[in-house]
């Protein structure tokens, strides 16, 4: 951690210690989550752990780790709020996030920097998984098959709108005259 002030080095050391403690607890929580996938308290704990790491990364300008944890946080928020169902694929993605977080933390610990690996594929897959959360589902629906190449589309049927009905238009003066005529005949 050269070229970093003594105060900044101490802040980074505290961040590393706290992050490693959080990740140890996260490992235990993930094992329990596989047994109890609907446990909202457990999901909230996992979410808070990732949220805490993400927040510190923003403060310390660790942009790679912040990007990873931000995408994971979005996905965990959806799970916690019941917007989607936890699947084995999502558990694997979360575990992969934890592994990537550990790699970045190890690099920070030894060099003071996040390292050269950007984990763009992981952040992309996390982002895609979070976008597929329109409704609770176990796995994304397959895309519909495109129509066969040799099919002929049926021509569209074009219909002409009906002619508007012509209603007689009466003017207010004509209406009054018609109303007063029955009164005059009644007077006779």
φ, ψ for residue 25 (rounded to 5)? Answer: -65, -40
pLDDT tens string 17-40: 999 999 999 999 999 998 999 899
Place of tokens 């558990």: 91
User: pLDDT per residue over 154-188, tens digit each?
Assistant: 444 444 544 544 444 454 445 555 555 555 555 55
Are the CB atoms for 80 and 47 separated by under 8 Å? yes
Retrieve residue 156's tokens.
Answer: 């569209």
Angle, vertex CA 124, rays to CA 110 and CA 109, nearest 5: 10
Domain coordinates of the chain in residue numbers?
Answer: 6-131
pLDDT tens, position by position, 39-93: 999 999 999 999 999 999 999 999 999 999 999 999 999 999 999 999 999 999 9
The candidate with the shortest Cα–Cα distance to 133, out of 80, 88, 69, 67, is: 80
Domain 6-131 falls under CATH 3.30.420.40:
no
Question: What is the distance in angstroms between the CA of the first residue and the CA of the last residue of the chain?
Answer: 114
Q: pLDDT (tens digit, 9 = 90+) per residue, 124-142?
A: 999 999 997 544 444 444 4
């Amino acid at each position: 951690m050269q070229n970093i002030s003594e105060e900044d080095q101490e802040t980074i050391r505290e961040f590393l210690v706290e992050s490693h403690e959080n990740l140890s607890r996260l490992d235990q929580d993930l094992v329990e989550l596989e047994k109890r996938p609907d446990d909202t308290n457990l999901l909230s704990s996992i979410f808070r752990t990732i949220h805490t790491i993400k927040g510190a990364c923003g403060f310390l300008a660790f942009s790679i780790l912040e990007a990873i944890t931000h995408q994971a946080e979005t996905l965990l928020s959806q799970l916690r709020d019941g917007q989607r169902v936890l699947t084995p694929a999502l558990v694997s993605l979360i575990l992969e996030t934890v592994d990537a977080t550990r790699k970045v933390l190890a690099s920070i610990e030894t060099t003071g920097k996040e390292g050269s690996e950007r984990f763009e594929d992981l952040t992309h897959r996390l982002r895609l998984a979070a976008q597929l959360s329109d409704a609770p589902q176990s796995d994304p629906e397959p895309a519909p098959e495109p129509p066969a190449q040799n099919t002929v589309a049926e021509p569209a049927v074009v219909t002409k709108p009906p002619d508007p009905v012509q209603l007689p238009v009466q003017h207010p003066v004509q209406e009054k005259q018609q109303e007063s005529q029955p009164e005059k005949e009644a007077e006779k």
